[in-house]
Amino acid sequence: MKKEFRRFDMDRPVMRMSRVLLPLTKILSLPDVKKHGNILKKTGVEGLKPPYLLLCNHNAFMDFKVATKAIYPQRANYVVAIDGFLHREELLRRIGCICKRKFTNDITLIRQLKRVVDAGDVPVIYPEARYSLCGTTAVLPESLGKLCRLLGVPVVTLICHGHHVNSPFWNLHDRGVKPTEAEFSLLFTPEDLKTLKVAEINRRLVERFQYDDFAWQKDRGIRITYEGRAEGLHKVLYQCPACRAEYRMNSKGTRLFCEACGKQWEMTELSELKAVSGETEFSHIPDWYEWERANVRAEVEAGTYSTGELPVTVGSLPKATFIRLGEGVMVHDMNGFAVRGTDKDGDAFEMIKDVPSLYSCHIEYEYLGKHGDCVDLNTLEDTWYCFPHDCAFSVTKMALATEELYFKYRRDAGKPCEPGLA
């Protein structure tokens, strides 16, 4: 049965950030921006006044602080995932944040963004909808071009470099990378949006969002001396290229290693990988990641992809407070995600997310530092955090498979996705 919980009020009109609070955003952002010696390059934005739409890439929390530097003293409204509102809903509402459940088609969000534009402020969106897993571009939603056209205001991009290698999603320790860089650039004028086709708008968006943090680091010769720099990397690089075993990778200190065959790789101060002995299959971390994707794609094309039944603990986030829903089983296969279980009252719960409904999914590593890895699945009314346990699994593989399943669905329907879009 469906439990009745108080739900997050997504329709509550977005608030403008108070002028009184505006200086506080700068005060909170300035120390880290200065610490990392951020270099901000501006192109085509001289004299630009709100309203305009700001689109940013997403690698770490530092992204928000550099965005503040880029637009200050203009007021902004950030689109924030619902778990960002945990235990601080009213504060985030007062500083103008807009709640979104990830990877859902949300008409309410469009209305909120329109309110921001009509108020003469800056809506800020991170269209990749998650931190990059390995410092490279994630897919962008095909609807992004339509949104730009609908809002009809200038579109500006903020592409940051160095934030992933400084504090990667798989190990958030601050490595002191300096200087970081960012480009704050005008991409479209309102006149451009009126004349360009949506496909061309999307093509230019994808082109602007190309980045590779590890290549950026190597090009600039920035060395990272942090002795735990490889720790957590096995969360992303879950398959061994030497013996092809899955879920047996591990890491400690500056080394990545396979517990199945024993092979080890050293992560250098330039974040390159070197085999301790034998062949170095992939020196560039994103190349290893894309090799894993290709292997997942082969399973999907063969129709054999499946996690099998994974025991999971499920947490629910109907509002800005977690509720422990109960124990269950999760399957991710050629049909998509299915989660079924029983709550503490003995009542059954179920969520089905078929392939067409998800072009990507959000995952977490060691969520909140204590809960382990998880997949979060969203409806317009709820978010379920599904934590597999007592089994071999990789949430990274599930994320890759979600995208590859969607791409196959589109190809089979005769509507293949354009490169970089979903």
SS3 195: helix
In a domain, 225, yes or no: no
Tell me how far the alpha carbon of residue 20 is from its chain's centroid.
31
Whole-structure pTM value:
0.94
State the average pLDDT over residues 306-314. 97
In a domain, 132, yes or no: yes
pLDDT at 3: 57
In a domain, 224, yes or no: no
Considering the domain architecture, whether residues 282 and 389 belong to the same structural domain is answered as no
In a domain, 327, yes or no: yes
- Over 60: is that where the pLDDT of 302 sits? yes
Are 404 and 300 spatial neighbours (Cβ–Cβ below 8 Å)?
A: yes
What does the alpha-carbon distance between residue 81 and residue 84 come to, in Å, rounded to a whole number? 6
Tell the residue number behind the tokens 């092809």, with chain if given. 244
Q: For residue range 14-56, what is the model confidence (pLDDT) as tens digits?
A: 988 888 888 888 898 999 999 999 999 999 999 999 999 999 9
Q: How many domains does the chain have?
A: 3
Q: What percent of the chain has pLDDT over 70?
A: 99
Considering the domain architecture, whether residues 250 and 279 belong to the same structural domain is answered as yes
In a domain, 16, yes or no: no
Considering the domain architecture, whether residues 203 and 335 belong to the same structural domain is answered as no
Are 240 and 261 spatial neighbours (Cβ–Cβ below 8 Å)?
A: yes
Q: Which of 82-86, 95-99, 291-295 has the lowest mean pLDDT?
A: 82-86
Q: For residue range 73-90, what is the model confidence (pLDDT) as tens digits?
A: 999 999 999 888 888 888
SS3 344: coil
Considering the domain architecture, whether residues 30 and 171 belong to the same structural domain is answered as yes
In a domain, 385, yes or no: yes
CATH code of residue 190: 3.40.1130.10
- Over 90: is that where the pLDDT of 358 sits? yes
Considering the domain architecture, whether residues 169 and 68 belong to the same structural domain is answered as yes
Considering the domain architecture, whether residues 159 and 296 belong to the same structural domain is answered as no
Considering the domain architecture, whether residues 279 and 246 belong to the same structural domain is answered as yes
Q: For residue range 131-152, what is the model confidence (pLDDT) as tens digits?
A: 999 999 999 999 999 999 999 9
Considering the domain architecture, whether residues 172 and 26 belong to the same structural domain is answered as yes
- Over 80: is that where the pLDDT of 371 sits? no
Considering the domain architecture, whether residues 33 and 113 belong to the same structural domain is answered as yes
pLDDT at 323: 87
pLDDT at 5: 64
Mean pLDDT of the chain: 94
In a domain, 14, yes or no: no
Considering the domain architecture, whether residues 294 and 146 belong to the same structural domain is answered as no
- Over 50: is that where the pLDDT of 225 sits? yes
Considering the domain architecture, whether residues 264 and 201 belong to the same structural domain is answered as no
Are 73 and 122 spatial neighbours (Cβ–Cβ below 8 Å)?
A: no
Residue 94 pLDDT class (50, 70, 90 cuts) = confident
Considering the domain architecture, whether residues 154 and 254 belong to the same structural domain is answered as no
Enter the tokens of residue 96.
Answer: 């103008």
Q: For residue range 213-223, what is the model confidence (pLDDT) as tens digits?
A: 999 999 999 99
- Over 80: is that where the pLDDT of 295 sits? yes
Question: What domain range is 357 assigned to?
Answer: 310-412
In a domain, 15, yes or no: no
pLDDT at 145: 96
- Over 60: is that where the pLDDT of 192 sits? yes
pLDDT at 1: 45
pLDDT at 112: 95
